Amino acid sequence: MANSVKNDSPIPVADISGAELETIAVRAGVHRTHELEHSEAIFPTSSFVFNSAAEAAARFSGEAEGNIYSRFTNPTVQMFEERIAAMECGERAVATASGMAAILSTCMALLQQGDHVVCSRSVFGTTNVFFEKYMAKFGIETTFVDLTDMDQWRSAVGDNTRMLFLETPSNPLCEIADITLLAGIAHEHDALLVVDNCFCTPALQRPLLLGADIVIHSATKYLDGQGRCVGGVVVGKNQQMEEVFGFLRSAGPTMSPFNAWVFLKGLETLCLRMKAHSESALDIAKWLSSKASVEAVFYTGLETHAQHELAKQQQSGFGGVLSFRIKGGKEEAWKFIDGTQFLSITANLGDTKSTITHPATTTHGRLSDESKMRSGITDNLIRVSVGLESVEDIKKDLQLGFVAAGLS
Ligand SMILES: *Cc1c(COP(=O)(O)O)cnc(C)c1O
């Protein structure tokens, strides 16, 4: 396998068809220039030149393949797209300027006025706003349902439902939904199942293999994993991705070549990182569970998690994000957060640096008290995205939080 040559490439690149995910993450999508560089090249160019007027015309008409302008295609961005498509087991990927641009492009390309969307209530806050405020403006209505309540999904789907949208596991309470079951519900109604796979990444969960039609990523999180760039990607079948690409080409929220290069490098360590994030998160979840001052720990890796068995079935690991409720309210939670020393107080997640967040007053602060109650976003809830520092040091830092909150 290692030394065979891919036929369609002008420069020899190893053929990795049939390889394992760890190999794909490092080797897929590589296209070398005549310099034979080992690491992928960055092409910071807005446009490309043609050898003749006839060649220009042929590229514009689509008769000849090749780059024209970086709003359409760029070689570095294409390498990232090929690699993530291979990792998610999709036919094609389309990279976008951000995770939200991935959601926007998917909806603009595949929905139209009068269509209906069913969306999990427990999605990224801005996704909520996007459907509720902006899609509604263009005559696309969204019904929000509880992620884990299959009856709600079933009864929300109607004749004009074209899309079901969810994140699993959810943020911050780590609830999960059965992707195969939801794909069944979607397909009975000719609707698409779209999964935002940001929390697990293809290293731990591949929704397309479970029946989903489209996977969306905020590459900003674990795909980069080191907090450097904002980006996104949509993965799915050729036919739908051609529509998404068409929207991107016309509307412009494309990924920059530099960011694509950063994400390519991020993918190379993704499997290793997700394994390490998951191991540390499980260790910390168990440690938190043993504390008398902790009322509840939310992490799918715990055997006490209501959906632990389902998580084991559809995920190959449990990820790096967990949350927990401490004894007390907002005051104790804030004291706890302020009491930690190196954990970064930020709403971001999926970074080598551990982060700590108070969802009720930040990421979920816009929700009404009733919605917060309903979604379990209590004032004593703290979310931690477990990074790659020593797990013992992270526990020590969290212990400072307990002490600062007057807990033990
Ligand atoms: C951050 C995030 C997004 C939005 O991605 P951006 O890159 O910030 O636009 C979408 N979905 C989930 C689950 C996220 O965490």
Domain CATH for 158: 3.40.640.10
Q: State which residues form the domain around 382.
A: 271-404
Residues contacting 27, CB < 8 A, separation 6+: 14, 16, 19
d(C-alpha 184, C-alpha 213), whole Å: 11
Residues contacting 100, CB < 8 A, separation 6+: 126, 127, 130, 218, 232
CA of 18 to the centre of ligand 1 (A): 31
**117: three-class secondary structure by DSSP:** strand
d(C-alpha 274, C-alpha 270), whole Å: 6
CA of 44 to the centre of ligand 1 (A): 25
Q: Are residues 259 and 284 in the same domain?
A: no
Domain annotation covers residue 242: yes
Using CB distances shorter than 6 Å, the residues near ligand 1 are 98-100, 124, 127, 167, 196, 198, 218, 220-221, 230, 232
pLDDT value for 272: 98
Q: With CA atoms as reference, report the closest residue to 253 among 228, 283, 233, 229.
A: 233
d(C-alpha 320, C-alpha 343), whole Å: 14
Q: Are residues 301 and 206 in the same domain?
A: no
Q: With CA atoms as reference, report the closest residue to 171 among 208, 198, 144.
A: 198
Domain annotation covers residue 2: no
Q: What are 230's two structure tokens?
A: 């904002």
Domain annotation covers residue 12: no
Angle (CA) 33 38 40, round 5°:
65
Question: Which is the closest atom of ligand 1 to the Cα of 102?
Answer: 9
Domain annotation covers residue 8: no
Q: What is the 3-state secondary structure (H, E, C) of 275-321?
A: HHHHHHHHHHHHHHHCCCCEEEEECCCCCCCCCHHHHHHHCCCCCCE
Q: Are residues 137 and 248 in the same domain?
A: yes
Domain annotation covers residue 136: yes
pLDDT value for 7: 41
CA of 393 to the centre of ligand 1 (A): 28
Q: Are residues 257 and 314 in the same domain?
A: no
Q: Are residues 307 and 398 in the same domain?
A: yes
CATH number at residue 312: 3.90.1150.10
Q: What is the H or E stretch that residue 96 is in?
A: strand 92-96
Q: What are 59's two structure tokens?
A: 């590229």
Choice from 166, 221, 357 to test ligand 1 binding pocket (greatest atom count within 8 A of CB): 221
pLDDT value for 9: 56
Last residue of some domain: 221, 247, 268?
Answer: 268
Last residue of some domain: 250, 268, 286?
Answer: 268
Tens of pLDDT along the chain (408 residues) come to 333 444 455 666 778 888 999 999 999 999 999 999 999 999 999 999 999 999 999 999 999 999 999 999 999 999 999 999 999 999 999 999 999 999 999 999 999 999 999 999 999 989 999 999 999 999 999 999 999 999 999 999 999 999 999 999 999 999 999 999 999 999 999 999 999 999 999 999 999 999 999 999 999 999 999 999 999 999 999 999 999 999 999 999 999 999 999 999 999 999 999 999 999 999 999 999 999 999 999 999 999 999 999 999 999 999 999 999 999 999 999 999 999 999 999 988 999 999 999 999 998 888 888 888 888 999 999 999 999 999 999 999 999 999 999 998
CA of 52 to the centre of ligand 1 (A): 43
CA of 124 to the centre of ligand 1 (A): 7
Question: Which is the closest atom of ligand 1 to the Cα of 123?
Answer: 13
CA of 89 to the centre of ligand 1 (A): 21
Choice from 126, 129, 229, 263 to test ligand 1 binding pocket (greatest atom count within 8 A of CB): 126
Last residue of some domain: 234, 252, 268?
Answer: 268
Q: What is the DSSP letter of 207?
A: G
Domain annotation covers residue 246: yes
Q: From the CB of residue 212, how many other CB atoms can be counted at a distance below 10 Å?
A: 28
Q: Are residues 140 and 239 in the same domain?
A: yes
- Residues facing residue 93 across a β-bridge: 235
Q: Residue of the nearest CA to atom 2 in ligand 1?
A: 218
Our count of domains for the chain comes to 2
Q: Residue of the nearest CA to atom 11 in ligand 1?
A: 124
pTM for the predicted model, two decimal places: 0.95
